[in-house]
Structure 1
Amino acid sequence: MYRIPRQSYTTEFKQEAVRQVEIEGKSPAQVARDLGIAEQTLGNWRNAYKAGKLQPGTGKPVTPEQMELSKLKAENARLKMEVEIPKKSDGVLRKGIAVKYVWIDGQRDLYPLQALCEVLGVSTSGYADWKACGGPTQWLSDEQMLSLIRSVHAEFKGAYGSPRITVELKARDIPASKERVRKLMNKHGIRARHKRRYKVTTDSKHQLPIAPNLLDRQFATTAPDQAWTADITYIPTREGWLYLAVVMDLYTRMIVGWSMDSRMSKELVMNALRMARFRRKPKPGLLHHSDRGSQYCSHDYRALLVECGMQASMSRKGNCWDNAPMESFFNSLKNERVFHEDYATRGEARRDLFDYIEAFYNRKRRHSALAYQSPAQHYANWLLKENRAA
């Protein structure tokens, strides 16, 4: 039987997970679901936090004042939830009971079931009966379908166009065709967020050694951790730029490593690679592809690749198509999240990027290159297939 690699988590990952519970007031069950971790594991991290061994974002001991502030923020988050649920459910409140159940089903990862049912005026037992009967079985009217389309569109913060919304509706057992969803969205002006250009961060004007293009646009691999791609982008905040370095596994399209800093240094990209190695523990021989940026060509980065047993591959000069999957990820990140936010601080941007990468992109976002599965689901399906074949 194929052995599932034991998952490892960096200190930064643990700090952010704990911060969402202790500072933002989210439920442990919700955070565990969003980040794909066991609730007991999160509980262990929270115990370390309360013992003063893990402080979200700083690594410093927790003071009594900070503990009290955490409690106040948790209460504020609870009150905010009581306001947000009615606001988000606007347009669903007046629909038929089946539409209400469908909307509740899509919000269960965000809010407690009891709160959702109370706001929409239905019982939890009625919802349970609806689920037991297999959910919606009748074709919905245009008005009902439009209400659900708007709900899914809002749930994913405008990131989804008609193809992904259609897949999402079908995954919730809602009978929907791509053409019908497309027509309703066009008629009512519902669309995915638009693209914008962003500046290039690659500095290839240097005399450092360049690796050959071994990947050569062969983006289709047969298993996880055969080939990774890496790159850097920038995030604007009112404090200045925040630079994000990421490492992607080509088979799953999962972001396996990331790092953020106010400086675009070689340490930034090295920390992203260290995280990826720590989490995935790949076998020697993995192909590592990047652009010709000075950070990736530096002696220290090349030495780290040798230490990891990885082969270096680099894009041709000025050719973004040689690293197309990474360009696609950055486009999604910017268009679906960053361009629609105004980050006051780098810390605020860090928290939102963590949410996008770990909670949304890796575990929820349906990827067109993966038959509209999320990277996490694609990886889970591969593990299941390997275990059956063993």
Structure 2
Amino acid sequence: MIERMKADFSIVFLCARLKVSVSGFHAWRKRPVSARAERRWQLSTKVLNVFVDSSRAAGHRKIAATLAADFGVHANRKTVLAIMRDLGIMPPAARAAFRRAAARARTTPDPGDLLERRFQDTVEPGTVLVGDITYVSTGQGWLYVATAIDLATRTVLGWASSKRQTAALVITALSRAIATGHVRPGAIFHSDHGTQYRSRRFMMFCARAGIRRSMGKNFECWDNAVAESFFSKLKNERLRWHRFTSRHAATREVADYIRYFNDRRRHQALGYATPAEAMAHLTRTTAAKAA
């Protein structure tokens, strides 16, 4: 990044902005560039260009959507956000949101990470759920989809969709998961640090429902890899082939895929069983152990 932008800015300024030493930059220039670093630089360049083209107003979600629509680059929105933070190019609304989030964190600390990426250690259904939010482009605007997925069986126990991503959206997804009867008292719900999951409404809902909240590190998508993986499958296996004229049409397609995902899609992580088969088997096994 510094190498490509040094024609427009001084090396000292760029190093200070990216929080690297000048001597470290010169040492880096002498080393061969890895393929991963080159891909990161190419993505950073596209992110910067889209941000500038938007008159410095686009946030990470709109930039990720623009990259996919205009360049065919399907970048994780959290990766885009991390790049924007590294470059110091946050839109005014995002800066205000981060200030509000920081102020809230000083009074109400976020919960710790109760999973620490030990996704394979959970073998009892209903003890750990993971959740996240994604968005789907439609002719009426964005459709936001939230999920609550059982970690042991990969079953999508609850989900919800809305034209707005609010605390109510994630509360609805989790409440529908609880309504299935598969969520045990004291279960863990793991998510990222999205404002919906950090809201007081969601915190109070979890407290009333006896759900323990868990969050990974900021901007570490691998800390919530199972939830991210489901959305990747949803988009790559189904949604990418459609152009939705309405949010209602997109919601129907999401619902149809979730039924397929739960009942018919076989998973390597489950020994090529479906989530429904894994849920039935592990529920019987757990009941037999308790007897």
Q: Which residue of 2 aligns with 1:224?
A: 125
Within 1, Cα distance between the matches of 2:219 and 2:200? Answer: 22
From 230, 253, 261, the counterpart of 1:361: 261
Aligned to 1:323: 224
- Deviations along 1:216-270, whole A, 9 cap, x unmatched? 1121212001111110000111111000000011000101110000001111111
Q: Which position in structure 1 is the counterpart of 2:22?
A: none
| Secondary structure of 2:158 counterpart | strand
State whether residues 290 and 313 of structure 1, in contact with CA within 8 Å, keep that contact through their aligned partners in structure 2: yes
1:299-314 equivalence runs, <5 A: 299-314=200-215
Q: Distance in 2 between matches of 1:386 and 1:271?
A: 28
Aligned residue identity for 1:219: F
Structure 1 residues 378, 283: closer, same or farther in 2, change over 3 A?
closer
Contact in 1 for aligned 2:136/2:144 (Cα 8 Å)? yes
2:281 is the alignment partner of 1:381 = yes
Matches within 5 A, 1:328-367: 328-358=229-259, 360-367=260-267
Opposite residue 264 of structure 2, the aligned amino acid is K
Contact in 1 for aligned 2:138/2:243 (Cα 8 Å): yes
Runs of 4+ residues deviating >4 angstroms: 200-204, 386-389
Give the equivalent residue in structure 2 for 1:242. 143
User: Which structure 2 residue ranges, 5 or more long, are not aligned?
Assistant: 1-71, 82-93
- Please state if 1:199 is matched with 2:77: yes
Contact 1:195-1:335 at 8 Å conserved across structures:
no
* Distance (Å, rounded) in 2 between the aligned partners of 1:387 and 1:285: 18
- Give deviations 1:82-104, integer Å, cap 9, x for gaps: xxxxxxxxxxxxxxxxxxxxxxx
Identity %: 37
- How many Å separate the matches in 1 of 2:76 and 2:244? 17
Three-state SS of the structure 1 residue aligned to 2:77 is coil
Does 1:211 find its partner at 2:123?
no
Code of the residue aligned with 2:230 in structure 1: it is F
CA–CA distance in structure 2, aligned partners of residues 198 and 312 of structure 1: 24
Between the two proteins, the alignment pairs up a number of residues equal to 196
Name the counterpart of 1:108: none
Deviations 1:188-209 (A, max 9, x none): xxxxxx9943534988831333
- Amino acid across the alignment from 2:75: R
TM-score (norm. length: structure 2): 0.63
Say what the alpha-carbon RMSD is for the aligned residues: 2.1
Query: Who is 2:60 aligned against?
Result: none
The whole-number CA distance in structure 1 between the counterparts of 2:134 and 2:111 is 21
Q: What corresponds to 1:253 in structure 2?
A: 154
Superposition TM-score, scaled by structure 1 size: 0.48
Larger Rg: 1
**Matched-pair contact (CA < 8 Å) for 1:292–1:314:** yes
Task: Classify the secondary structure of the residue corresponding to 2:180.
Answer: helix
Q: Distance in 2 between matches of 1:343 and 1:329?
A: 20
**1:288 aligns with one of 189, 194, 198:** 189
In the alignment, the residues of structure 2 paired with residue 270 and residue 337 of structure 1 have an alpha-carbon distance, to the nearest angstrom, of 25
Are 2:264 and 2:274, in contact at CA under 8 Å, matched by a contact in 1?
yes
Pairwise CA distance, 1:326:
0.8
Distance 2:283 2:183 in 1: 15
Q: Which residue of 2 aligns with 1:73?
A: none
Cα-to-partner distance string for 1:309-360 (whole Å, 9 max, x where unaligned): 11111010100010011111111011001111111110100101000002x1
SS of the residue corresponding to residue 203 of structure 2 reads helix
Contact 1:228 1:286 in 2 (8 A): yes
Deviations 1:106-133 (A, max 9, x none): xxxxxxxxxxxxxxxxxxxxxxxxxxxx
Structure 1 residues 275, 195: CA separation in 2 closer, same or farther (over 3 Å shift)? Answer: farther
**Alignment partner, residue 45 of structure 2:** none
Cα distance in 2, alignment partners of residues 270 and 387 from structure 1: 29
Name the CA distance, whole Å, in 1 between partners of 2:73 and 2:258.
19
Alpha carbons 1:195, 1:331 under 8 Å: kept: no
What SS does the aligned partner of 1:215 have? coil
